[in-house]
Amino acid sequence: MTSTAREGASPRETVAGLMAAGAVFLGGLELFYRPFRLAPAAVILLLAATVMSREQHRLIRLGFAMVGICFVTGAALQVLTHHPLF
């Protein structure tokens, strides 16, 4: 029987991956809802995931890129549509 999970993956790596995925979700949400509230939470999650993980670097890099790009784009959209930024 073959397992789809990696053998020897620690719970710490799993939690770090979940934190990074949550930050990616928050980064995407910045496009639609108040980027100045969501960006700090996403960055804190990504920083904690960075400290915790040694194997999730690709996901963490994707998270930082997505949070940055969606922050700028979301803030511009909020200004253009006259919605509050925070």
| 16 inside domain | no
Distance from C-alpha of 11 to C-alpha of 55, rounded to nearest angstrom: 12
**What are the angstrom distances between the C-alpha of 13 and each of 23, 32, 37, 70, 85?**
15, 30, 27, 26, 34
| 11 inside domain | no
Q: Decide which of 86 and 10 is more confident.
A: 10
What's the pLDDT tens digit per position in 16-60?
999 999 999 999 999 998 999 999 999 999 999 999 998 999 999
Rg of the chain (C-alpha set): 15
Its pTM surpasses 0.75: yes
Residue 77 domain boundaries: 34-86
| 82 inside domain | yes
Domains in the chain, number: 1
| 46 inside domain | yes
| 67 inside domain | yes
